[in-house]
Chain A
Amino acid sequence: MGRVVLVTGISRDIGRRFARAATGDPSIDRVIGVDAVPPRGDIGDVSFVRADIRTPVIAKVIAKEDVDTVVHMSVIATPGSAGGRGTMKELNVIGSMQLLAACQKSATVERLVVKSTTTVYGSGPRDPAMFTEDMGPKRLPSSGYAKDVYEIEGYVRGFARRRPDVDVTMIRAANVVGPHVSSPLTNYFRLPVIPRVLGFDPRLQLLHEDDLMRVLCHAATSGVPGTFNVAGDGVMTLSQAVRRLGTPSVSLPRFAVGRLGSTMRQARISDFSPEQLGFLTYGRGVDTTRMRTVLGFEPQFTTAETFADFCQSIAPAVKEGAGRA
């Protein structure tokens, strides 16, 4: 008997691609994609159900389709794509609460996989070099994506407590980078001139988009409960990344980078959030020992290889831009 997997957030590229990848897995029978808006690309064998996870409709979908595995991927990082910070927060937090409520009521759900992020650890001068899963942020996030994820993780832990029979896997993914990913970090690297914070050289740890697909599939099929940091091996510094990319960069004082970021956000050039400024100042590293020993997952790309792959994907665009200028 194969599994029936429900994937939320399928209208976004990464959710759609995961759903398609999941249909190819032999142990998965059916994949049902759910979102408030239809997906833009080809979804293959995935059956799409148009439902807003902020409403109780989601409970009916779970009951009707006999879903036993829920993969929650609809936590969004950028207010721009959602149409404002208010909508983003509602989609993230209220959507997750409704989904968890529906899972709690359901008799069929056996597994819940939540795609979280290492952004919950925050970035600051008092951070340890490597965060393990037991550590929390040194300072509670006050706004934005990090706060949403922090709250969602709290609700997920509450759900795991109330339904101990459901295997809850929380994947704290490092910054996902790849040729198809559009995230605040990849948009930052695609800027023609990269602003850096003067006097700081943050450590970056990246995860390749293919590895994200694989780890979510792995979690959905193996059902190992727990919280896991998932990242490519090794770290690289921002100065290294910029040099490997070959893009010119300019170092500015921190407040100037923040000002520039908010200007770019207003001009819709790039989503440059305050927590990203922190990340680009202090960086972050996570310990992935448990990913190997407990979850049993091995990423295919190291941080350096992930970035090299990303560089190759944007190299033609850079050349084209140079030719125009």
Chain B
Amino acid sequence: MPEEARRRDGDHAVVIPIGTGGRPGRGSGSARPSSAARNLAPAARKAASSTPTSTPSSKPSARPASAAAGKKKTRAGSSDEKVVPPPADAEPTTADEAGQPSPSTGIPVGEWLAAAQDAAQEIFGADWERRLAELMAFVRRRLEGAYDVDDYGFDRELTERFFMAALRPIAEKWFRLEVRGLENIPAEGGALVVSNHSGTVPLDGLMTMLTVHDHAGRFLRPLGADLVFKLPLVSSLARKGGATLACTEDAERMLSGGELVGVWPEGFKGIGKPFSERYKLQRFGRGGFVSAALRTGVPIIPLSLVGAEEIYPLVGNVPSLARLLGVPYIPITPFFPWLGPLGMVPLPSKWILEFGEPIRTDAYAPGEAEDPMLVFNVTDQVRETIQHTLFDLLRERGSAFG
């Protein structure tokens, strides 16, 4: 088939190949390579010379066209085009193929398979067949929608296989998370994890979720501000990751359902505070989390997290633009927005998470959640615990990036 095509080209000499058409030569535009090139590749000599000889035998009427072709060839500097015998026609292509074997024929199929197997083993480990089958099943389930979400929209499978897997290297390699007090997380039943909030972007929440999942084997269900559920993309990711709105109804529903719930009562005041105020706890909301815990009788676990303050040192804010966009602040750090996307890379600070001793609330009667003084007292107790632990951890950690 390729031979026929080539012959036709020679006949009409209208198709002028660009470059060398895969044969050795200098790209003169002619079908024939230069003499120097022909000396280098002896097999190519026959290939090139086959074209003009086929002309008279197959189509005598195409005289002028072939003459034009001949003219061009002379310009290219060759002289011996008419002396080659016709039978040489069949040979050149086979010689061509033998000379430059294509990769598909060169490497035996068995080796391809072995290489694929090795690659699979490299990616999936020793029992790669089962892992690969699992992955395919996972992809199929995702594409068919054959997975379950709970009442809050929590997609357990996606969270475990995708979100957590994506966050794990960041936690282990970039922030070098150190976790303490894991024994304070109950193995089952409802509990409320209360943490300080910092870092301009709520990475601390994501890292806490990962830590609780990896070390305590439970899913932390974060309560998010309503802005989270207003923003496109963020809202759907938050619900799939297990978050729900920080309101009394949802908090109590989750806690009485036996979930491990995470709250960051400082909210935007904590996360968007300037770098100069790092590790100074802001006001703990209105104590709504305490009344929810009191009403459901679950323990409150204070979590002190050191390290998130340094990831994006917030040195400025653009309040007017923030108001315009409807967000609480527009962060300005030493690197953002000056370095563009590069400025969005968090600084690799050293993180320490310490889960404190649970504050029990089941001793109080459920009606005492209506007592504002008790709620304020418990709120202060939680806040003081976290603040003191933060100072201790800071002293212990020393340099932020050490």
Contacts and interface: CB of A to CB of B under 8 A. Distances in A.
B396 interface: no
Contacts, number: 88
A41 interface: no
A126 interface: yes
A13 interface: no
A243 B249 CA distance: 31
A282 interface: yes
B153 A235 contact: yes
Nearest to B153: A203
B146 interface: yes
Given A242-B145, A244-B145, A125 B239 contact: no
A236 interface: yes
Interface string A170-199: 000000000000000000000000000111
Nearest to B147: A240
Contacts of A240: 145, 147, 149
B115 interface: no
A127 B143 contact: no
A198 B249 CA distance: 28
A125 B145 contact: no
Interface stretch (A64-72, A79-87, A129-137): A129-137
Interface size class of A (residues with CB under 8 A): 20 to 34
Interface in B344-370: none
Contacts of B234: 199
Contact of B245 (A128, A132, A243, A253): A128
Contacts of A203: 149, 151-153, 239
Interface string B234-273: 1110011000110101100100000000000000000000
A55 interface: no
B288 to A, nearest CB: 13
B145, B152, B245: residue with the most chain A Cβ atoms closer than 10 Å: B145
B255 to A, nearest CB: 13
B122 interface: no
Contacts of A282: 229, 235
Interface residues of B, number: 31
A199 B253 CA distance: 26
A127 B229 CA distance: 9
B144 interface: yes
A310 to B, nearest CB: 14
A47 interface: no
B233 interface: yes
Contacts of B226: 125-126
Given A199-B235, A199-B236, A244-B144, A129 B149 contact: no
Contacts of A283: 153
Interface string B114-149: 000000000000000000000000000011111111
A234 interface: yes
A132 B249 CA distance: 9
Contact of B148 (A135, A201, A234, A244): A234
B151 A201 contact: no
Contact of A130 (B155, B229, B240, B253): B253
B146 A244 contact: yes
A129 B149 CA distance: 13
A4 B140 CA distance: 53
Given A135-B249, A199-B235, A243 B145 contact: yes
B42 interface: no
Contacts of A127: 245
B230 interface: yes
B152 A129 contact: yes
A237 interface: yes
Contact of B239 (A130, A201, A234, A287): A201
Interface string A190-228: 000000011111010000000000000000000000000
B232 interface: yes
A199 B143 contact: no
A198 B144 CA distance: 20
A241 interface: yes
A241 B145 CA distance: 7
Contact of A128 (B235, B239, B247): B247
Contacts of A239: 145
Contact of A201 (B231, B236, B247, B249): B236
Contact of A129 (B143, B144, B145, B250): B250
Nearest 8 interchain pairs by C-beta = A199-B232, A243-B145, A201-B236, A199-B233, A240-B145, A128-B249, A125-B230, A125-B229
